[in-house]
Amino acid sequence: MTLVDRFLQKPRRSSFLFGPRGTGKTTWLRQVLGDVPTLDLLDAETYRSYAARPERLREWLAAQGRPSWVVIDEVQRVPALLDVVHQVMEQKTGVQFVMTGSSARKLRRAGVNLLAGRASVLTLHPFMAAELGDAFDLDAALAYGLVPVVHGAEERREALAAYIGVYLEQEVKAEALVRNVGDFSRFIESVSFSHGACLNVAEVARECQINRNTARSYVSVLEDLLLGFTVPVFARRAKRILVGHPKFYYFDAGVFRSARPRGPLDRAEEIAGAALEGLVAQHLRAWLAYRRDGEARLFYWRTKSGSEVDFVVYGEDVFTAIEVKNARQVHRGDVRALRAFREDYPEADVCLTYRGRERLVVDGVPCVPCEEFLRSLDPRQEKVISNR
């Protein structure tokens, strides 16, 4: 598979690198750090050895000479290793650590303080359209997503179908993150109906026949495993009555399509619309993460009367409202919510992205083809909307 240059910048100091399984953390580290000593805790023998005696890390480091960088893969499997890493860093040996993980849940449950701020936290996301360049295909991205391990597979459909199963076996079941894997499997399907919508935990709990607290804990598990995320309501200087529930998304459009059950009553355009909105969401999250400004965040805006703007990107140097439409044409009614948002926040840039091919301006609102919008999202640029 051809290597793809990622927008995530090389770490400057010891760092945690989090990202869902299959997003290419190990591959990226080889690209930016080269062939450095690596401790792979997914290897069964290595895991058993260091789980039994974490201080063995000192002996292993001594055998490596004086490397500039050391990688510890899937560090959450042996949280006690971080105590040893902390001690080595305190001794100022000059060794910089990169500790990868597909979940921070076990680290928090073990009371680990993530090295008391001595290590930065980076995240690696699915591919962005601008990273793939000419290899980006919008229809394929909506069908199979942009997780590198799936994108690079010969049979994407089969690879995607196996993806959630890998998580259930290797993360949820093996690490005993939930008591009832069957209930959690049903929850994964049920919560897919909330993808791109306000998350009503009580409703999802009824659908799964579990209690509300269990459903709420399952949402936390999905977030900790980086399989899903929630987007809060933008309420700064609110001039209207707003809803209170966050929106939920799976981290990748293909994972959402794989988790979402289909039946004769499902409308294809409804699922496609949710997938498109999720694809835009995952791009915006990656764009924010790779900028490294640490301030800007992703929100949405919805009033009690029903006006909704899908995304609001807000930070010290960026304020943009974005509406996503899975339609080939734009009508005046499609930009009504954006106009209402701009009335309340005249400082904001606004944009509608849709499935058509032409740039338009409808009632003063720029409308950009979705593929062009996604390709133009580059964290090296300050603005969400390209002026090209």
The tens place of each residue's pLDDT in the chain, 388 residues long, gives 578 999 999 998 999 999 998 999 999 999 999 999 999 998 999 999 999 999 999 999 999 888 899 999 999 889 889 989 988 888 877 899 999 988 777 676 655 556 666 788 899 999 999 999 999 999 999 999 999 999 989 899 999 988 888 777 677 766 667 778 888 888 999 999 999 999 999 999 999 999 999 999 999 989 988 899 999 999 999 898 998 899 999 999 999 999 998 776 677 788 999 999 999 999 999 999 998 666 899 999 999 998 999 999 999 889 999 999 999 999 999 999 999 999 999 999 999 999 999 999 999 999 999 999 999 999 988 888 765 4
Structural element, H or E, at residue 291: helix 268-291
Residue 147's φ and ψ, nearest 5 degrees, are: -65, 125
Question: What pairing do the DSSP bridges indicate for beta strands 247-250 and 297-302?
Answer: unpaired
Residue burial 13-23, b: 16+ Cβ < 10 Å; e: rest: ebbbbbbbbbb
pTM, two decimal places: 0.92
Among 103, 123, 143, identify where a domain stops: 123
CB atoms within 10 A of CB 188: 24
- Do residue 250 and residue 343 come from a single domain? yes
Order the strands of the 297-302 sheet from edge to edge.
297-302, 308-314, 319-324, 349-354, 365-369, 360-362
What is the domain range of residue 29? 15-123
- Do residue 276 and residue 199 come from a single domain? yes
CATH of the domain at 92: 3.40.50.300
- Do residue 92 and residue 183 come from a single domain? no
The pLDDT of residue 388: 46
- Do residue 40 and residue 145 come from a single domain? no
- Do residue 166 and residue 195 come from a single domain? yes
Which long-range contacts link 327-332 to residues 24+ away (Cβ below 8 Å)?
327/354, 327/355, 327/356, 328/354, 328/355, 328/356, 329/354, 329/356, 330/354, 330/356, 330/360, 330/362, 330/367, 331/362, 332/362, 332/363
The pLDDT of residue 109: 61
The pLDDT of residue 135: 94
Asked if residues 309 and 322 have their Cβ atoms less than 8 Å apart, the reply is: yes
